[in-house]
């Protein structure tokens, strides 16, 4: 069987313009139109054509390169440099410009704030196009590794352990020096010990500096001082907690963030308010999983008139509640006491920082109870803690159980978890390239903006999106 062979030397009639190679419905045209429609002054990017000095690469072309690259999982500055030489879509997008990897990396590094703000402008575009409503918002978070090794993460315990090792080593060096000096042995050995002692002193000063920068109970990575320390099935790693807030209508992202906290408990109010700021209006409903179930955080949004749909930790727990679980104890508002399943009263005994402790009135009551040893094993009797805002927690739990709330909560996985599934699975993003929180936020801005553009193309079609963005610009 004969093969088909190519011929590089064959003459042909090719279009004279590179634009003729890019179809009218090619997705790259949507990315081009999107960046052209951005307000660069609001982004803080100067477009002065008359500035003094050697000509720079067009800021618009550089931003197009980053937004388009991140949308397809091409984030490395070296890979982006390769694309503008060999990939027709990239060549068309930047108009044939050939920035090297250093130029690309420097542009990204010096425009972190602008890259983060691109998402906000994409949300405003979606609002004008009727693709975002802002009525119901869904929150989700995921851990993304930072550009730093966990080996460079220090905790209070590690610092104290290292200080003890240094002290022991210094004592050993001093003792060895005294022995050599007494024996009048070779000067070379003493010089080597002096150098080692100096090395340990430098390390000791460094550990003291790290200790000074440690927050109570926290950690500090010497490579990226703003990243957090997370644990997962793959072990511990340094990184950031990526946050997104998604609109219900079409699953478009309205805000994104990167924080160092390892859990989502303190993020609910902060992230909802950031989303509302981007939308320019207050939402009606905010929904998240039990990872956000901090009553203090939920109350901040609840008292603004927003319906909060978040299960409490006990509602999310799959274990069957025992007969003497706290939920089996009834609170009597008038008497300010808890009534146990056996009808005995637990009265207020002490106040903690955020809780009030209720204990059985007479300890003998518990000791004589037939369920002693099952309900409690304490000789002081059964104790129940009540949050200062327990009534808020109970009301939110009841609100979560409503049928209308359950209908909304069922949409959460579909809406809130899709963006991170796309970013991690489809784009292969497992770690940030830029260091520092500002760098992580900039990359989150690019990744989420790219997600929104792809969704907009799906909803409107490429050619229509290009047209409406051209009209908006």
Interacting residues of 21 by C-beta distance below 8 A, sequence separation 6+: 15, 88, 92
Residues 195 and 115 in one domain: no
Assess contact for 134 and 283: CB atoms under 8 A: yes
User: CB of 438 within 8 A of CB of 113?
Assistant: yes
Give, as one character, the DSSP assignment of residue 76: -
pLDDT of 388 reads 77
Angle at CA 90, nearest 5°, toward 85 and 94?
95
- Do residues 276 and 299 share a domain? yes
> Does 289 share its domain with 398?
yes
pLDDT of residue 160: 66
Same domain as 294, residue 401: yes
Residues 29 and 140 in one domain: no
Are residues 161 and 249 located together in one domain of the fold?
no
Mark whether 299 and 170 lie in a shared domain.
no
Residue 195, domain extent: 151-221
244 and 311 fall within a common domain: yes
CA pair distance 337, 346, nearest whole angstrom: 6
CATH number at 401 reads 3.30.420
Cα-Cα-Cα-Cα torsion 407, 410, 415, 419, nearest 10 degrees, comes to: 170
Q: For the chain, 473 residues long, give each residue's pLDDT as a single digit of tens.
A: 577 766 667 766 667 788 888 999 999 999 999 999 999 999 998 887 767 667 788 999 999 999 999 999 999 999 999 999 999 999 999 999 999 999 999 999 999 999 999 999 999 999 999 999 999 999 999 999 998 888 877 776 766 676 777 676 666 666 666 565 555 555 555 556 566 666 766 666 666 666 666 665 577 777 788 888 887 777 788 899 999 999 999 999 999 999 999 899 999 999 999 999 999 999 999 999 999 999 999 999 999 999 999 999 888 776 667 788 888 888 888 888 899 988 888 888 877 777 788 888 888 889 889 889 889 988 888 988 887 778 888 899 999 999 999 999 999 999 999 999 999 999 999 999 999 999 999 999 999 999 999 999 999 999 999 999 988 76
What are the b/e assignments for 219-242, b being 16+ CB within 10 Å? bbbeebebbbbbeeeeeebbbbbb
* Residue 255 falls inside a structural domain: yes
Number of domains in the chain: 4
Residues 123 and 169 reside in one and the same domain: no
The answer to whether 412 touches 419, Cβ cutoff 8 Å, is no
Whether residues 260 and 399 share a domain: the answer is: yes
DSSP state letters, 1-40 = -PPP---TT------SSGGGGS-TT-HHHHHHHHHHTS-H
Q: Specify the 3-state DSSP secondary structure of 127.
A: helix
As given in the structure block, the two tokens for residue 117 are 């703000």
Q: How far apart are CA 406 and CA 416, in angstroms?
A: 15
Dihedral angle at the C-alpha atoms of 8, 14, 16, 18, nearest 10 degrees? -80
The per-residue pLDDT for 383 is 86
Count CA atoms within 13 Å of residue 296 on its CB side: 8
Boundary (domain end) residue, out of 186, 221, 256 = 221
- Whether 110 and 36 map to the same domain: the answer is yes
Q: Which two tokens stand for residue 344?
A: 């005995």
What does the alpha-carbon distance between residue 178 and residue 189 come to, in Å, rounded to a whole number?
Answer: 12
Task: Give the CA count within 13 Å in the CB-facing half-sphere of 174.
Answer: 8
Bridging pattern class, strands 330-332 and 337-339: antiparallel
Q: Facing residues of 348 across strands?
A: 358
Of 55, 57, 60, 70, nearest in space to 40 by CA:
60
- Provide the token pair at 1: 């069987």
* Boundary of a domain, candidates 221, 250, 268: 221
Please check whether residue 290 lies inside any domain of the structure.
yes
CA distances from 306 to 282, 301, 366 (A): 8, 6, 43
Q: Is residue 12 part of a domain?
A: no
Could you tell me if 30 and 122 lie in one domain?
Answer: yes
Residue 193 falls inside a structural domain: yes
Give the bridge partners for 332, in sequence order: 337
CA angle 16, 18, 19 (to 5 degrees): 110
Q: How far apart are CA 377 and CA 375, in angstroms?
A: 7
SS3 373: coil
CA-based angle 146:147:152, to the nearest 5? 90
Whether 321 is covered by a domain: the verdict is no
What are the structure tokens assigned to 368, written together? 């004589």
Q: What are the backbone angles phi and psi of residue 243, rounded to the nearest 5°?
A: -125, 140
Question: Are 30 and 466 a contacting pair, CB within 8 Å?
Answer: yes
How far is 136 from 140, CA to CA, in rounded Å?
A: 14
> Does the residue 446 lie in any domain?
no
Q: Do 382 and 376 meet the contact criterion of CB atoms below 8 Å apart?
A: yes
Asked if residue 418 is part of any domain, the answer here is yes
Closest CA to 227 of 239, 213, 245, 209: 239
Rounded CA gap, 109 and 290, in Å? 36
Look at residue 363 and tell me if it is in a domain. yes
């Amino acid at each position: 069987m004969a093969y088909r062979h190519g011929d590089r030397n064959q003459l042909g009639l090719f279009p004279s313009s590179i634009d003729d190679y890019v179809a009218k419905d090619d997705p790259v045209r949507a990315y081009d139109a999107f960046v052209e429609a951005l307000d660069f002054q609001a982004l803080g990017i100067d477009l002065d054509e008359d500035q003094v000095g050697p000509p720079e690469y067009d800021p618009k072309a550089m931003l197009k390169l980053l937004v388009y690259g991140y949308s397809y999982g091409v984030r490395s500055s070296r890979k982006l440099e390769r694309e503008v030489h060999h990939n027709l879509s990239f060549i068309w997008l930047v108009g044939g410009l050939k920035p090297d990897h250093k130029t690309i990396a420097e542009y990204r590094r010096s425009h972190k704030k602008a890259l983060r703000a691109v998402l906000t402008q994409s949300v405003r575009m979606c609002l004008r196009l009727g693709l975002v409503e802002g009525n119901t918002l869904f929150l989700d978070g995921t851990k993304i590794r930072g550009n730093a090794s966990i080996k460079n993460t220090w905790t209070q315990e590690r610092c104290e352990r290292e200080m003890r090792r240094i002290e022991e080593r210094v004592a050993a060096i001093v003792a060895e020096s005294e022995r050599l000096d007494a024996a009048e042995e070779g000067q070379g050995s003493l010089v080597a010990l002096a150098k080692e002692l100096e090395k340990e002193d430098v390390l000791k000063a460094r550990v003291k500096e790290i200790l000074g920068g440690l927050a109570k109970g926290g950690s500090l990575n010497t490579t990226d001082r703003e990243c957090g320390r997370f644990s997962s099935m793959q072990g511990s790693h340094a990184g950031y907690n990526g946050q997104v807030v998604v609109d219900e209508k079409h699953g478009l992202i309205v805000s994104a963030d990167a924080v160092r906290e390892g859990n989502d408990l303190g993020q609910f109010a902060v992230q909802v308010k950031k989303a509302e700021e981007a939308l320019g209006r207050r939402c009606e409903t905010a929904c998240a999983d039990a990872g956000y179930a901090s009553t203090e955080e939920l109350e901040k949004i609840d008292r603004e008139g927003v319906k909060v749909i978040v299960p409490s930790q006990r509602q999310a727990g799959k274990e069957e509640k025992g007969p003497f679980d706290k939920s089996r104890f009834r609170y009597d508002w008038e008497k300010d006491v808890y009534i146990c399943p056996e009808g005995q009263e637990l009265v207020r005994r002490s106040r903690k920082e955020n809780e009030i402790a209720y204990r059985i009135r007479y300890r003998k009551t518990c000791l004589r109870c037939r369920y002693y040893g099952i309900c409690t094993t304490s000789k002081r009797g059964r104790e129940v803690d009540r949050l200062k805002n327990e009534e808020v927690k109970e009301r939110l739990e009841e609100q979560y159980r409503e049928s209308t709330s359950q209908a909304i909560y069922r949409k959460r996985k579909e809406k809130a978890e899709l963006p991170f599934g796309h970013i991690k699975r489809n784009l292969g993003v497992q770690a940030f390239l830029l260091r520092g929180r500002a760098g992580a936020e900039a990359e989150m801005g690019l990744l989420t903006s790219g997600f929104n553009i792809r969704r907009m193309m799906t909803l409107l079609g490429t050619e229509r999106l290009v047209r409406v963005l051209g009209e908006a610009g």
